[in-house]
Chain A
Amino acid sequence: MSLPGINHPAILESKEAFGETTLIADPAQIVDLCRYLKQQEKFIRLSGVTAVDWYPSEPRFEVVYHLHSIERNARVRVKCRLSGGAAGTTPEIDSVTPVWTGANWYEREVYDMFGIGFRGHPNLVRILMPLDWDGFPLRKDYPVHGYKYDYGNE
């Protein structure tokens, strides 16, 4: 389903595939864009926030937001590309918690799994992994067995 009329300076590119709309947005204006989509375009629900790691290509990360409009019965996907993330550093993007309170746990999960920081998040700590965990498990350069146990000597 195509969604005409969505027009915002933060949208860099708009794609249609498998009947789904994907907007690629400028990470610096994500909060503006989300506020616009929520208030003007009636996407009142945030279905989830997640990320994809495209290691080793650049920009490495994609932060993915799935929005849902009950009124228009439509869904849209917003993606932001972020670079960085080498050797334990965390790329950053603005948190959308001021727009939807429900982004809180999803952003914590993305931080926990991918090590992407969210500026302005009220409580950005690990949510699923233990608090003292080392590394970000869903990154592609993180081994499946983790760093904690050494299987190399067998």
Chain B
Amino acid sequence: MKKLFEEHVATISATQEIPASPSAPRRMTLNMGPQHPSTHGVLRIVLELEGETIVSAAPDIGFLHTGIEKECEQKTWQQVVTLTDRVDYLANLSNNLVYALTVEKLLQIEIPPRAQWMRVMMTEFSRLNSHLVWLGTHALDIGAMSMFFYCFREREDILRIFEMFSGQRMMTSYIRIGGLALEAPRGWQHAVGKFIRAFPSKVDEYEDLLDSNPIWTRRTKGVGYISLEDMLDQGVTGPMIRAAGVPMDCRKTEPYSSYEKFDFKVATRTENDVYARYRVRLEEMRQSAAIITQALEGMPEGPWQADAPHVVLPEREKMKTQMEALIYHFKIVTEGFRVPAGEVYQCIESPRGEIGYYIVSDGTSKPYRVHMRTPSFGNLQALPTLLQGILLADSIAALGSMDFVLGDTDR
């Protein structure tokens, strides 16, 4: 056993370009993770330290690899929705949406306005959910423990809304190909309205709590700088790049699901440090709340599923009276529907950045290839540059500011 372990360690250090012994006599190699509270998942980082300064950092990922892309090739098109939930477990609705949009682009079906607005509202809730978890845990890492309780208080309300809509708190699978899984439940306006009226004041509360905390400001301001050129070169997206002054947001530049009908601003900062990333996400929470308010007030009436009988399951009532509906139901359930051959790349703005699905269809009832371009994978790649030359204690703040999800990285 011991020999096996030593062999394993030897292969890792050789292939990951980690020096077996520190290259300079004063240097020390430190293994951080895979089980480390501040990595928010299972990420292993091998740090080379000189005193307390990080000379180099080598991330080692793959601990949560579950072969989702391979599994997608075995499921029918609609079944894959449940797998997309499990990619990024904090923004599962964003993953549902991008998958549905990609397949709908291949199928060329039109989604009714009500379903589009519902999708916008739900993905914005998922953005709030993700940012709240991020803010709570990030502040907890830096030492502001009470933030965690405040953020999870609001997150609980959001999860209740998810449960109300879909019957599930986390793995909702609410957005399906052709529309939504279920019609919005009775009284949803009341539940969403109650939450969203109170929410902006909660964001002010977080801001007061953190900004008047000298420990928070000193540990975040001026920490974790990474140049814009490096970020663009290494494929960083999302709040990280917006905190460096680039208003790159797919919701504005390549609007999908009628985002162009909503009035919101893209939050940017220019300082490009941990504090700026926190401010960007805080502003995004306010903008998301504004989008949800607009969706609540202007929600169009009408059908919540596309008029595509070969894709969408028929209504129960029609199945009992119409032969065609019964046949379509049988075909969709037993065989699944066929998607015309072709390839499509569709990206949306997830809470962490650009999430893009590249789907290839060969005309059968199962995807031929599903590639997930996940934001955490792209962002995490910049980690060595981000950590280089900073203090070990600051690495926790810098790591947290990236807001990665390891399920999203490893898939």
Contacts and interface: CB of A to CB of B under 8 A. Distances in A.
A100 B65 contact: no
Nearest to A22: B343
Contact of A131 (B15, B61, B344): B15
A127 B254 contact: no
Contacts of A64: 358, 371
B17 A123 contact: yes
A46 B233 CA distance: 8
Contact of A70 (B67, B70, B248): B248
Contacts of A126: 62
Contacts of B356: 47-48, 66
A105 B368 CA distance: 23
Nearest to A137: B70
Interface string B367-393: 011010100011001000000000000
Interface residues of B, number: 42
B74 A102 contact: no
Nearest to B106: A18
A138 interface: yes
A90 interface: no
Of the candidates A44, A48, A73, A125, the one having the most CB atoms from chain B within 10 angstroms of its own CB is A48
B373 A128 contact: no
A131 B11 contact: yes
Given A17-B342, A52-B369, A127-B61, A138 B235 contact: no
A102 B378 contact: yes
A20 B67 CA distance: 28
A18 B232 contact: no
Interface in B190-238: 230, 232-235
A45 interface: yes
Nearest to A19: B105
A77 B358 CA distance: 10
Given A18-B344, A47-B373, A129-B62, A144 B70 contact: yes
B62 A127 contact: yes
Nearest to B381: A105
Contacts of B344: 18, 20
Nearest to A112: B62
B345 A75 contact: yes
**What DSSP secondary structure best describes chain B's contact surface?**
mixed
A37 to B, nearest CB: 15
A13 interface: no
A100 B235 contact: yes
A125 B16 contact: yes
B274 interface: no
A137 B67 contact: yes
B345 A20 contact: yes
Given A48-B356, A128-B410, A131-B11, A101 B233 contact: yes
B360 interface: yes
Nearest to A132: B11
A52 B246 CA distance: 32
Nearest to A144: B74
B349 interface: no
A47 B373 CA distance: 8
B74 A100 contact: no
A18 B105 CA distance: 7
B254 A17 contact: no
Interface string A63-107: 010100010010101000000000000000000000011101110
Give the most central of B105, B233, B342, B377: most A CB within 10 Å: B233
19 contacts: A47-B373, A48-B235, A48-B358, A48-B378, A50-B371, A52-B360, A52-B369, A64-B358, A66-B345, A66-B373, A75-B345, A100-B234, A102-B378, A109-B377, A123-B16, A123-B17, A128-B62, A131-B11, A144-B70
